[in-house]
Structure 1
């Protein structure tokens, strides 16, 4: 014998009920008890109608009309016209009785628990009758049985509970004698000893099925729903969640208690002692094996079997010096909550006995606060205990697994993962069974926490990086292309999965929570909404993804001013924009401190040397205890390109124009040629060496005529270069005369920095520097005579993009 239970989504409409019929008809068991819920959404409509009637709001009638329409439409779609009359008449009669009950509640202006049970029971009564008649019409060997005749309840300690002795006897007697292969029953509903309708609570259809399965010693209980089993996490919040093929009763109870909605927690109790297996299956994918729930057979399996959560939680804390060493405080505290019928879902108490903290439903917090304050009024008035503290907008997140017991490091791994993603933990609880580790967190962090933990425990350590890219011109476009080409390599070899969630240029911006297609990002961006830097940040912050990284490929002062906002919200920043790190020292220092405080890396390797590992190397030198004595460098790829190509056969104007067109200079080439860009770079290196320096402290020996420096736009600037060609030729001829080459050199020594054009003689490390290459000489305590040299391409969109890419990978490997 087998029991099959179909939930509200499985019987939501005629189309779904046909799927249910096909599943039932294909059962090979000799006898099948089919338990059905109300049509999807009907129970909620009944409750709303009852609540409105109780406050004498006659709009309850519109809900009654909707309930009637749903059932009548289902009959018309399922039952042949010739057979509809009798069934419609029966259903309309039941609906008339329902309307009479609601009218009674409306007239007296209240609704009793007894009346509420009677009203709500109509959902299952009507659905089971209609489905039974449909099965009969389809030729199935079926009988419909009113569940109230089999499931009996009694009142224990003021609460309705199943009378198992009576229920088991009635189920065994009826089912053993009925000849039909299929028995249709309504879930959720039962009856008291006097025959009054009672209910088994929300989710009670699962419970009905389990009660019957245990009573008749069924071989299997099948729970048919709209998902293919129990998942490692809520698949609506965690896209990578996977169905769990096999799970123990205890694990399933923990997961269902902590929010896994495919199973109602008490369901497992009746079948657990009988050792009856439960299988969770998908009505809309019946061939999927789903999840089988049995005794623990996971001895050598995964430690963590699932991650789940409960929303709408509040913390209630009672503390005070007067609690220490005083017997009975905890008893009084929990007794107050019990008497107020408030369920406690989490408990934590300091070993000092100075405080007790419990998690309860946020819906109960007002009543709980009032009751506890009243119970301890004397202690509070005398200052021995503080007034109860309430924290709202919280949720509980939990790791579940039988094999978590005595497995070292799980708690640390869990809390470390949450901490890295700046998920603040308000309370922690772990039972002695060690089957569950629970933490209370902000409800806005639930999705991020679930995904971060799922990634840590279930995704083979593949780390998802969520990128938000601002600036997709020359460098930004190359960067996105590199991400696109290397995505598979990163996943296979580095266990990193970068997704670009947001892109913005100066005109438009787009977001896609599942990741923007990098194959055609440019066409997608062209149709995006109007660009707005503030809205871009707000969207990034609201999405609240784990491992979020803001990537700035602009040269904008305005964009650089937003870094602090990102870092304060634990969003890492990667940038090739030099403005922030060369701004006021206090701002530079604040950004570094924010990165440490909020565990959000702030990386800017491309600020100096594009893709060369200059800053990273310097950081390692300093971290290992070395001290910088002197830095000499050619740090402008654009200026090196210019002076490597400028001679007496070219004009300075032509070479600078070529450098701009090939992407070696900033959009405004005066930034490079004036020395400002190099000043920023040597300033950043000096600061990263541990020196406090402002850009005004750097001596700039500019080679440009004052007229060129005074220009305000590119056209005027280039005109000035043409006008002063002779002065540039003079610089060149002097260098040739001294058998030297012109190089724009930055230097830092003894706390002082300078930049300027120099004649470099043969034999110097800078002399043979070709193209747009950069070179840095680090003279340190460990390298006093022969410096550490870093040399290579220091400009160009491709290498700059690769430097940004490298910073992204660094964050992925943190």
Structure 2
């Protein structure tokens, strides 16, 4: 004999019920027990109607009408017209009884637990009868049986305890004699020995099916729901979660206890003793394998089988010096919670006996605080115990697996993963069986924690990086193109999965939690909402993704001022924007400290030399113990481009215009030509060398006329270049006569820095620097005479984008 249970979503409407009939009809020959829940949502409607009636609100009648319409519509869609009359008559009779009960609650203005059970039981009574009649009308050898005649309980209404002796006897006697091959029953409902309707509490339909399966020694218990088995994590929160093919009873109980709603843990108890297998299947994907639950599972090497969580948890802590060495404190603490009917889901106690901490439901916290403080009033008044401490809006997250006890370091791996993602752990608990490791965390961190742990334990070390990109102009668009082009390579070879979750330019912004399709990003961005930096940042924080990276491709000082907020929220920052790192030393230092404190890398390789590994090389020199003595560099690719192309056959204006149009300069070319950009770069290198320096400390020997420096916009600036062409030609002629080339050079030595245009003679390392290339000479204690030289393209959208990309990959490899 097989027992099949179908939940509320599986029988929510006539279409779903027809799927149930197909599943039952395809089973092998032999007796089949079909246990069904109420039509999806009806139990909630019954509870709502009872509540309204008890408050003497007429609105209960409209809820009752809604319940009636749902069932009559289902009958008319499933049952042939010639058979409808009898079924409708029975259902309307039951609904009349339900109406009478609700009227009674309305008249007396209250509802007792006994009356509540009687009202709520109508959901399963109605659905099971309709479904049995549908099976019969379709030619199946089926029969309806009222579960209240089989399952006997005590009279603790709302969560009755089963009398297994009488229930087993009833079931064996009935199923032995019933001639039909398919028997349809309602789950969740039972009756007391006195014949009063009772219910089995949360998960009651699962429990009903397990009780019957155990009583008749069924070959298998199948639980049909709307997901394809028990998953490695909640698939609604972790998109990479997958069904677990085979799991043990104990593992299933742990996962279901910690929030895996596909199965209610007491369900397993009746079949556990009888060693009856359970299969979790999907009504809407019956061909899917599902999850097999047996006494043991033999998948060796799998330490963690699943990750689960319980939300809406509160912590209750009792502590004080008067607890140490005093027998009975724990007994009193738990006894008072038990008497108040407060369920404890997690316990931890300090070895010093100085404190006891328990996890309970958020809904019970106020009552718990009151009863515990009252119970320990004497000790609190005398200062031996402190008033109870409570914390709300928490969640429990748990790793589960039978084989965890044989694998060392799992706790460390779990906690270090959470720590890397700045998930603060409030309490830790581990059962003596070592079948689960639990931690209490902030409720807002649940999604991030689940995804981080799932990535660590289940995803073959593929690390997901979630990017939020500000600025998609020249550099930004090249960067997105590179990410799109390399996405598959990174996943296959570096085990990095890069997703762009948010994107903004100065006009529009968009977010897509599943990742913005980079093939169509321009079209999507154009149709996005109005750009707003504050809203963008709020959305990034609200999403709270693991491995979040804010990518700034702008030259905006306002955007640079948001870095500290991102870092404080454990969101890494990658930027080509030089403003933050060349701002006040206090701000630069704070950003570096925040990055360390919140474990959020702050990388800005492209601040100097675009895609050249200048800053990274400098960092390696410093951390390995070397000391920088002097830096000489040509750090402006735009200025190098300008002076490599400027001669007596061109105009300075035209060359600068060309540099701007080809993306070698900032949008405002004066930033480059005034030397401010180079000042920022040498300042950053000096700071990264370990020196405290401000931009005002740098000598700027500008070659631009004062008139050009005083301009307020690009139009005025380019006009001033035309006007002063003679002065620029004189600079060129003087250098040419000295057989030298003009290079804009930055230097740092003995704590002092300077920038300015210099005549570079033949034979110098800078003389043959072509195009927009940069070059840096690091003179250090290890390289005192022959410097370490880094040379290459130092400007341009492509190389800058590649430098940003490289920083992101560095974060992925941390």
TM over 0.5: yes
> Whole-Å Cα distance in 2 between the matches of residues 542 and 158 of structure 1?
38
> Whole-Å Cα distance in 2 between the matches of residues 46 and 716 of structure 1?
76
Displacement of 1:297 after TM fit? 2.2
Displacement of 1:299 after TM fit? 5.2
**Is it true that 1:804 corresponds to 2:804 in the alignment?**
yes
Corresponding residue of 1:166? 166
The answer for unaligned runs of 5 or more in structure 1 is none
Corresponding residue of 1:641? 641
Corresponding residue of 2:349? 349
2:585·2:693 contact (CA, 8 Å) conserved in 1?
yes
Displacement of 1:267 after TM fit? 0.6
> Whole-Å Cα distance in 1 between the matches of residues 477 and 770 of structure 2?
26
Provide Cα deviations, 1:560-609, integer angstroms capped at 9, x if missing partner.
Answer: 01111111111111000000000001011111111111111111000000
Alignment of 1:36-185 (within 5 A): 36-154=36-154, 160-185=160-185
Corresponding residue of 2:374? 374
> Whole-Å Cα distance in 1 between the matches of residues 561 and 634 of structure 2?
28
1:230·1:262 contact (CA, 8 Å) conserved in 2?
yes
2:632·2:778 contact (CA, 8 Å) conserved in 1?
yes
Question: 3-state DSSP class of the match of 1:392?
Answer: strand
Alignment of 1:182-201 (within 5 A): 182-201=182-201
Corresponding residue of 1:477? 477
> Whole-Å Cα distance in 2 between the matches of residues 466 and 744 of structure 1?
39
Instruction: Out of 65-74 and 101-110, give the one that drifted further.
Output: 101-110
2:160·2:201 contact (CA, 8 Å) conserved in 1?
no
> Whole-Å Cα distance in 1 between the matches of residues 477 and 42 of structure 2?
52
**Is it true that 1:792 corresponds to 2:792 in the alignment?**
yes
Provide Cα deviations, 1:138-167, integer angstroms capped at 9, x if missing partner.
Answer: 110011111111101125899731101111
Alignment of 1:580-659 (within 5 A): 580-659=580-659
Alignment of 1:450-461 (within 5 A): 450-461=450-461
Corresponding residue of 1:310? 310
Provide Cα deviations, 1:612-669, integer angstroms capped at 9, x if missing partner.
Answer: 0000111111111111111000000000011111111111111111111111001111
- In the alignment of these two chains, the number of paired residues is 814
**Is it true that 1:683 corresponds to 2:683 in the alignment?**
yes
Provide Cα deviations, 1:68-102, integer angstroms capped at 9, x if missing partner.
Answer: 11111101111111211111111111011111111
Question: 3-state DSSP class of the match of 1:279?
Answer: strand
Corresponding residue of 2:701? 701
**Scaled by the length of structure 2, what TM-score is found?**
0.99
Displacement of 1:384 after TM fit? 1.1
> Whole-Å Cα distance in 2 between the matches of residues 299 and 285 of structure 1?
25
Question: 3-state DSSP class of the match of 1:778?
Answer: strand
Corresponding residue of 2:404? 404
Displacement of 1:113 after TM fit? 1.3
Displacement of 1:188 after TM fit? 0.5
1:168·1:216 contact (CA, 8 Å) conserved in 2?
yes
> Whole-Å Cα distance in 2 between the matches of residues 63 and 771 of structure 1?
78
Corresponding residue of 2:300? 300
Displacement of 1:343 after TM fit? 0.6
> Whole-Å Cα distance in 1 between the matches of residues 180 and 77 of structure 2?
25
Corresponding residue of 2:692? 692
Provide Cα deviations, 1:206-248, integer angstroms capped at 9, x if missing partner.
Answer: 0010001011111000000111111111111111110111111
> Whole-Å Cα distance in 1 between the matches of residues 52 and 313 of structure 2?
27
Corresponding residue of 1:214? 214
Corresponding residue of 2:261? 261
> Whole-Å Cα distance in 2 between the matches of residues 570 and 349 of structure 1?
31
Corresponding residue of 1:576? 576
2:117·2:158 contact (CA, 8 Å) conserved in 1?
no
The answer for unaligned runs of 5 or more in structure 2 is none
Corresponding residue of 1:777? 777
> Whole-Å Cα distance in 1 between the matches of residues 246 and 460 of structure 2?
19
2:158·2:200 contact (CA, 8 Å) conserved in 1?
no
**Is it true that 1:440 corresponds to 2:440 in the alignment?**
yes
> Whole-Å Cα distance in 2 between the matches of residues 436 and 176 of structure 1?
41
1:465·1:812 contact (CA, 8 Å) conserved in 2?
yes
> Whole-Å Cα distance in 2 between the matches of residues 767 and 68 of structure 1?
91
2:113·2:157 contact (CA, 8 Å) conserved in 1?
no
Displacement of 1:50 after TM fit? 1.2
**Is it true that 1:449 corresponds to 2:420 in the alignment?**
no
Instruction: Out of 662-671 and 324-333, give the one that drifted further.
Output: 324-333
> Whole-Å Cα distance in 1 between the matches of residues 124 and 301 of structure 2?
40
Alignment of 1:479-518 (within 5 A): 479-518=479-518
Corresponding residue of 1:544? 544
**Scaled by the length of structure 1, what TM-score is found?**
0.99
Displacement of 1:105 after TM fit? 1.2
> Whole-Å Cα distance in 2 between the matches of residues 158 and 695 of structure 1?
73
1:298·1:403 contact (CA, 8 Å) conserved in 2?
no
Corresponding residue of 1:730? 730
1:631·1:748 contact (CA, 8 Å) conserved in 2?
yes
Question: 3-state DSSP class of the match of 2:309?
Answer: strand
> Whole-Å Cα distance in 2 between the matches of residues 659 and 158 of structure 1?
78
> Whole-Å Cα distance in 2 between the matches of residues 212 and 758 of structure 1?
93
Question: 3-state DSSP class of the match of 1:353?
Answer: coil
> Whole-Å Cα distance in 2 between the matches of residues 375 and 458 of structure 1?
46
Displacement of 1:298 after TM fit? 2.6
Corresponding residue of 1:277? 277
2:699·2:755 contact (CA, 8 Å) conserved in 1?
yes
Displacement of 1:322 after TM fit? 1.3
Corresponding residue of 1:715? 715
CA RMSD of aligned residues (A): 1.1
Provide Cα deviations, 1:318-366, integer angstroms capped at 9, x if missing partner.
Answer: 1111111111111111111011111100011111111111000111111
Deviating above 3 A after TM superposition, structure 1's stretches of 4 or more consecutive aligned residues are 155-159
